[in-house]
Structure 1
Amino acid sequence: MGMRRKVGSTKSPSVFSHEFVIQNHADIVSCVAMFMVVGLMFQVTQQTASLFITMQHNHTEVFNDTEPPTEVTYYTNGRKDFCSVFFYLLIAIVLHAVVQEYILDKVNRRLHLSKVKHSKFNESGQLVIFYVASVIWGSNIIFEENYITNIAQLWEGYPHSDMLFQTKFFYICQLAYWVHCFPELYFQKVKKDEMPARVQYASLYLVFIGATYALNLTRVGLCCMVIHYFMEALFHVSRMLYYSEKMDFAKTGFSIWAVLFVIARFLTVTLAVLTFWFGLGRAENQIFNMATGNFNTFLIRINCLAAISLLQVWMMWNFLNFQLRRYREATAAKQKAKQRQKERREAKLQAAKKRGSEASSDEGGDTDVSLTPRANKAENGGPRTRNRGGKKH
């Protein structure tokens, strides 16, 4: 699972050197994760190991309205979730290495991409797999909880401190994945000029997902994530097609993504306004209570709504700049193509004129040579005759 060595390198790096850690980081991390799993087998370490592997802060409720009574386990957030995030951070690093070695590296060998395209192709490939898995997983939760048919569930019954296992596990995996992006900058030897963009979007994901999880806004956060991830998955698929030189498919994908991007921004702002302004704004319980997880106050609602709206405006600004840059590049490429065609036409015309002038000069030279004997005869007074009768006296 570690990174493959370069062909022709016979000298192995020293143990615990930077190169050794980078080449074998997946094996090292998998050993640490396996050590935690083995801890579940022994009673002495079982409690500590379960702190990292299983979901914490749970309680069971019994519903007697059915026969037989049913027990449902609910989960809340808490400090122990940091341990779970750490363990699944290790799993994310291992899965990242598996996808890189057994899928993306094989595709890259066939495409023969440059170093710059190789790095961006790998980035998009990793994100596509994560986005698609998250969209499928999140959509399943949305349909099971009937958030689409009853959208009022996004704000009714707040605070939504009690979560089912799938919802809590979904958020833990989301946080673990975006945290794992930071050590991957070191493991993948990302260039310095590419780091700011990756750190920026990973940090934004962490801040907003962490805020929705801590403020018990998991329902509206889940819907917004699914909408955004679907659009991002389409963008990175189109990006991979572009780097694979599948220009027709890439152009179609980018066109569809451009439309869906605007729709996604509109839907996100709509959900935010419905939840924070109308839904939670009309709720009866608007008193801050840390014990029950109630953060429904005017100040928090306005800040959440402003943060989401400003993020959508910022994304739209970047989107418009991206589209303008693409339009300018396409226009410049067309102008260069026209200029090249014009230069080729002029070169062909000049070549044709040159060939015509050479042909006419050759014809003129042949005519002069054919007239030269006649001109000589005329200058000498006509043709000379041989005196056959002998000398004249």
Structure 2
Amino acid sequence: MAMVGPNLDPTLSSFLILSPHSCHGLSSNTEVTAKTAFLFILPQYNISVPTADSETVHYHYGPKDLVTILFYIFITIILHAVVQEYILDKISKRLHLSKVKHSKFNESGQLVVFHFTSVIWCFYVVVTEGYLTNPRSLWEDYPHVHLPFQVKFFYLCQLAYWLHALPELYFQKVRKEEIPRQLQYICLYLVHIAGAYLLNLSRLGLILLLLQYSTEFLFHTARLFYFADENNEKLFSAWAAVFGVTRLFILTLAVLAIGFGLARMENQAFDPEKGNFNTLFCRLCVLLLVCAAQAWLMWRFIHSQLRHWREYWNEQSAKRRVPATPRLPARLIKRESGYHENGVVKAENGTSPRTKKLKSP
């Protein structure tokens, strides 16, 4: 019990005297608040998996993940605004870009930061989990229901970023002509990331995202250098070469893991409760989705390259058709000594020169 001094107000002293029941109420409220905060901040559905030495904590997905994703959507919106205001706006003011280039500059600037962070994070996860050194782990022991903390947290942040891109179309005041193109890419990423997460293909999804994000990072970096100086087009040539190779690697890896690896697994029963989707129909749907997405990206790439080449050759042919205008030789003008004033030639001393008298015949 708290000690009350003689000069202390009795009304105030009643608040200082805390009974055990009031302390228990405060502690219970604190626990409820902490549990609610953890629901938003930390991944849910943790489970202890026994190992040879001790136990490790793994996670699986569930409806509570939507609350965590919602929280990180707001965090991503704040980070988006910070990058825009303190980095991109200051750079774009120095470049004096037009409205169209300014919009593309902001888009590429945001995506360069995101892809760079995602590539480093994804590469770290893939290396530490041993997915690169052991490719057979992409399909062995399927379904991969139990995820390490860093794998699940990576997927939650990825979903939060691409979901935050939808309201950013309004916040960034994107032009109506650009909205369909950006919606296509946003939906494409959401379908692939959510599909890999929900179908328990998280290991394969990490490798494919690492390849895709590396290519996208190179493209948007090349576009930023182009906006800074239109003569910097070497990175576009490097991106064009990497783009085709990346499409080939993604298709090969998807066919190897899904078409051959999962097809040879013994457990091929459709069991959503255990997270097993290893059936012929599911494998065909996933392969068709991956192949269709890569074919669509390759078609857009070829179409844009042909359009750029056509514009380049049109400019070159236009330059050849226009003949060079010959320069006229400068005429030598013989000036009289002195200067002109009101149409009269003045001598250097200011007096008009005397006119010569014509002799009469």
TM-score relative to the length of structure 2: 0.82
- 1:336 aligned residue: 318
C-alpha distance after superposition, 1:53-89 (max 9, x if no partner): 11001111232x33xxx22110111111101110000
- 1:218 aligned residue: 202
- 2:341 aligned residue: none
C-alpha distance after superposition, 1:240-290 (max 9, x if no partner): 111112523xx1101110110011000000111011111000000000111
SS of the counterpart of 2:49?
strand
- 2:235 aligned residue: 253
- 2:343 aligned residue: none
Is the counterpart of residue 319 in structure 1 residue 301 in structure 2?
yes
Following superposition, the deviation at residue 208 of structure 1 comes to 1.0
- 2:346 aligned residue: none
Matches within 5 A, 1:166-181: 166-181=150-165
- 1:46 aligned residue: 34
- Letter of the structure 2 residue corresponding to residue 218 of structure 1: S
Q: Distance in 2 between matches of 1:255 and 1:178?
A: 28
- 2:147 aligned residue: 163
- 2:214 aligned residue: 230
- 1:303 aligned residue: 285
Q: Distance in 1 between matches of 2:282 and 2:169?
A: 34
Is the counterpart of residue 59 in structure 1 residue 41 in structure 2?
no
Following superposition, the deviation at residue 47 of structure 1 comes to 2.0
- 1:278 aligned residue: 260
Following superposition, the deviation at residue 338 of structure 1 comes to 2.7
Larger Rg: 1
C-alpha distance after superposition, 1:287-311 (max 9, x if no partner): 0111110000000001101110111
SS of the counterpart of 1:73?
strand
Is the counterpart of residue 98 in structure 1 residue 82 in structure 2?
yes
Q: Distance in 2 between matches of 1:87 and 1:47?
A: 15
Q: Distance in 1 between matches of 2:167 and 2:30?
A: 31
Q: Distance in 1 between matches of 2:97 and 2:174?
A: 16
Matches within 5 A, 1:70-109: 70-109=54-93
Q: Distance in 1 between matches of 2:165 and 2:295?
A: 25
SS of the counterpart of 1:348?
coil
- 2:127 aligned residue: 143
- 2:225 aligned residue: 241
When you count helix as a share of all residues, which structure comes out higher? 1
Q: Distance in 2 between matches of 1:252 and 1:336?
A: 24
SS of the counterpart of 2:246?
helix
Q: Distance in 2 between matches of 1:326 and 1:186?
A: 30
- Letter of the structure 2 residue corresponding to residue 178 of structure 1: W
Q: Distance in 1 between matches of 2:249 and 2:231?
A: 30
- Letter of the structure 1 residue corresponding to residue 70 of structure 2: F
- 1:126 aligned residue: 110
C-alpha distance after superposition, 1:215-263 (max 9, x if no partner): 0000001100000000000000001111112523xx1101110110011
Is the counterpart of residue 348 in structure 1 residue 326 in structure 2?
yes
Q: Distance in 2 between matches of 1:106 and 1:71?
A: 50
Aligned length: 309
Over the matched positions of the two proteins, sequence identity in percent amounts to 47
- Letter of the structure 2 residue corresponding to residue 151 of structure 1: P
- For structure 1, the residue ranges without an aligned partner over 5 or more in a row are 1-40, 360-384, 387-393
- 1:5 aligned residue: none
Following superposition, the deviation at residue 189 of structure 1 comes to 1.2
- 2:347 aligned residue: none
- 1:9 aligned residue: none
Matches within 5 A, 1:186-197: 186-197=170-181
Following superposition, the deviation at residue 44 of structure 1 comes to 3.1
- For structure 2, the residue ranges without an aligned partner over 5 or more in a row are 1-28, 334-359
- Letter of the structure 2 residue corresponding to residue 247 of structure 1: N
Q: Distance in 2 between matches of 1:254 and 1:42?
A: 55
Q: Distance in 1 between matches of 2:73 and 2:319?
A: 49
SS of the counterpart of 2:204?
helix
Q: Distance in 2 between matches of 1:77 and 1:47?
A: 18
Following superposition, the deviation at residue 46 of structure 1 comes to 2.2
Aligned-pair Cα RMSD in Å: 2.0
